[in-house]
Amino acid sequence: MSLLELKDVSMLYNGKVPALQHVNLSVEKGDWLAIMGPSGSGKTTLMNIIGCMDHATSGHVILDGVDISEVSNDGLTQLRRDKIGIVFQQFHLIPYLTAVENIMAAQYYHSMPDKKEALEALDRVGLADRADHLPSQLSGGEQQRVCIARALINYPVLILADEPTGNLDEKNQQLVMKIFHELHEEGHTILTVTHSAEVGAEAERRVIIEHGHMREAES
Amino acid sequence: MFWQMVKGALIRQRKRFFLIALTVALGVSLAAAMLNVMFDIGAKVNQELKAYGANITVTPRTASVLQDVYGVESGHKEYLQEKDISKIKTIFWTNNIVAFAPDLAGTLTLTDGKEVPLHGTWFEHVVTLPTGESITTGAQEIKSWWTVAGAWPREGAGEALVGEKLAADLGVSAGDTLHYRGKDGEEGTLKVSGIVTGGGAEDESITTDLGFVQGIVGAEGKVDKVEVSAITTPENDLARKAAANPERLSQKEREIWYCTAYVSSIAFQIEEAIPGSAAQPVRQIAESEGKILEKTEMLMMLITGLSLISAALGVSNLVSANIMERSREFGLMKALGATNLSVSLMVLAEIFIAGIGGGIVGYFGGLLLAQAIGQTVFGSAIAINLFVAPIVAALMALMLLVGSLPAIRMLLSLQPASVLHGR
């Protein structure tokens, strides 16, 4: 059984503006899939649906055996907590918490904060020495790495990365992509949403979304 | 982690939370001040009303019954004994008896044949109580609103006050001498020590020493009535029930009534102390007191309510602005798996910490404000009522909850996808 399966998923905003139309997609455990497409193509809408932050207007989204199309908002919250790790383009760190506390916040909402484990997660992304720094004291690349550490801390079945390098310079972009490669090699399932062909090329599989329609990219 | 996040938010948003605390402090200070004043205002209004004279009139029982039942005066005139008057200060509520003065009415025939109303009383009389203690009391104490042009009469010196209107009729002024004819036709003189203005019967009569009038009317050692000024507890339903008929009170009600300084229970105790007397509360005073108190309390409640509503609106605006400003942060928390309950609790914790801080400052500010009101309005301190603290705390909690409701509703409807990605 696939880890993630989208069956005939459509999304209409305000009941009439189509953002996604009859999308079908299957992602296996351990896959690294890049969803590519220009701005306004429906990438973010798709990510919101897969990330359990929104319901599709029609169709079925099955994540790790659960049809999330039929899950309540509370149920979606639980699925986000238990099964998804999200990496945001704009990092979205809590500004008054240090790097390690930002990771512990994700642990707190999942189960119990564990500082040792949070520090290990930071160490893994090369930021052990920046643990007690506030987001405002970190560079963009460092903030993104904290975001990745936070996404990994609760052992999610799916890592969703929304334009993970969109706000980074080339050096930091390479650092972040290196981490994704390591995670992929460890068997993590990664889904990156990007408009960058360069970032998309790093994934083992690519799909293109245009005007709400999805198709496999030519290799 | 929860408190770590709350602490972080409080420190980072300190200006906003300071404003919330300030708003709560203002609301709570007004509420605390008004409630303290409200709980103490009964005694204050009571003291103020003492300036308007006696609130109990003691008369002979028979005269009182005929007057009450038939609206007529007895043909045979009844008197109280002057020697019994001091017993007023022997009742359970003796310390609440501020002053008293007897009154004996008669007529004085002037040498020109004109008859003028005459009243005898004590002016500044030293009374020896059955306990051996001495007190000074009389019209000078009880008729505090009388204006005397000249001097108050000295007892036993043949001096009198002449009412303003009567003085104009007679063409006398302070320092003049009045010539009168006694009951046996003998002539005598009274020195006009002052002209009195009081707005009542005294403006048209001569007021002089009780002993002199007793001699004129041939009622030695007797008085018509005694006016008593007492500090009383404002009337309530129990007092009104007792005033209608004390016999209808249950044993417990009677105990409460008897041991509370209601005007009716003090009057009842005076009747017990003076044989053959009927002590009647001056209803206008008692009722005015109740009405003034009721209206003042209502005003205080209104101010308390309005101040708390204003504070709740202020808190509501500030918290809503805070939530809007931090919508990404809360959206992120929800995206990370925070439930609506956990995010709402965090926001409430922040608001309550700021609110409690402001509330404590506001409470003590309110105590100071109450004292300022007491000094300005009543010229005395307001008693601090310990019950006000829990009442204010409960009202503040309610105000913070009500004030937070719109923000919490906003928080519940916040969708992580909307605030993090837009859609």
Q: Where do the structural domains in chain B lie, given as residue ranges?
A: 2-47+289-413, 55-281
Q: What is the pLDDT at residue B111?
A: 87
Chain B residue at shortest CA distance from A152: B336
What's the rounded mean pLDDT across residues A132-153?
89
User: Residue B48 pLDDT > 70, yes or no?
Assistant: no
Q: What is the mean pLDDT of residues A209-219?
A: 82
Residue B208: CB atoms within 10 Å: 28
How near does any CA of chain B get to the CA of A101, in Å?
Answer: 8
Q: Rounded to an integer, what distance in angstroms lies between the CA atom of residue B167 and that of residue B196?
A: 9
Minimal Cα distance from B341: which residue of A?
Answer: A74
In this predicted model, what pLDDT tens digit does every residue of A42-78 receive, in sequence order? Answer: 888 888 889 888 888 999 999 888 898 888 888 888 8
Give the C-alpha separation, B411 to B422, whole Å: 16
Q: Which residues of A touch B325 (CB under 8 A)?
A: none
ipTM of the complex: 0.85
d(CA A73, CA B240): 61
* Segment B176-192 mean pLDDT: 87
Report H helices in B173-260. Answer: 210-217, 237-244, 251-258
Asked which of A14-18, B66-70, B95-99, B107-111 is least confident by mean pLDDT, the reply is: B66-70
Q: Which pLDDT does position B355 carry in this prediction?
A: 92
Question: Is the pLDDT at B74 greater than 60, yes or no?
Answer: no
State the Cα–Cα distance between residues A217 and A198, nearest whole angstrom: 14
Distance, in angstroms, between B323 CA and closest chain A CA? 14
Residue B105, pLDDT score? 93
The pLDDT of residue A101? 92
Mean pLDDT of A156-178: 84
Residue contact A92–B338, C-beta within 8 A: no
In percent, how much of chain A has pLDDT > 90?
16
* pLDDT score of B75: 58
Spell out the domains of chain A, with CATH numbers in brackets: 4-216 (3.40.50.300)
Residue A180 has pLDDT above 90, yes or no: no
On the question of pLDDT at B285 being above 80, the answer is no
Identity of the amino acid at B419:
V
Query: Would you say residue A139 has pLDDT above 80?
Result: yes
Nearest alpha-carbon partner for B269 in B284, B254, B283: B254
Contact status of A54 with chain B (Cβ, < 8 Å): yes
Question: In whole angstroms, what is the distance from residue A28 CA to residue A2 CA?
Answer: 5
Helix (H) or strand (E) holding A151: helix A140-152
Average per-residue pLDDT in chain A?
87
Question: Between chains, do A81 and B4 touch, taking CB under 8 Å as contact?
Answer: no
Q: Taking CB atoms and an 8 Å limit, are B421 and A74 in contact across chains?
A: no
Predicted pLDDT at A171: 80
- Distance of residue A181 Cα from the nearest chain B Cα, in angstroms: 23
Report the residue count for chain A.
219
Q: Which of B329, B337, B423 sits opposite A48 (nearest CB)?
A: B423
- Residue-level pLDDT at B49: 63
Residue B30 has pLDDT above 70, yes or no: yes
pLDDT reading at B422 higher than 60: no
**Mean pLDDT across B378-400:** 87
Closest CA to B1 of B328, B325, B336, B315: B336
Answer whether A110 touches B (CB < 8 Å): yes
Q: What is the pTM of this model?
A: 0.66
User: Exposed e or buried b for every residue in B73-106, given b needs 16+ CB within 10 A?
Assistant: eeeeebbbebebbbbbbbbebbebbbbbbbbbbb
Q: What is the mean pLDDT of residues B120-144?
A: 88
Which of A39, A50, A52, A53 to mutate to test binding with chain B, by most B CBs within 10 Å of its CB?
Answer: A53
User: What residues in B contact A88, CB-CB < 8 Å?
Assistant: 420
Shortest CB distance from B337 goes to which of A80, A101, A162? A80
Q: Which residues of B touch chain A, with CB atoms under 8 Å apart? A: 1-2, 4-5, 8-9, 11-12, 328-329, 332-339, 342, 415-417, 420-423
How far apart are the C-alpha atoms of B175 and B302, rounded to whole Å?
A: 54
- Give the tens place of pLDDT for each residue, B287-319: 666 677 778 778 888 888 888 888 888 888 888
Average pLDDT value over all residues in chain B? 85
Phi, psi of B267 (to 5 degrees): -60, -40
User: What pLDDT does B153 receive?
Assistant: 93
In the block, tokens 């204010």 appear at B392
Q: What would the pLDDT profile of B220-258 be if each residue is shown by its tens digit?
A: 999 999 999 887 777 778 887 887 777 888 888 888 888
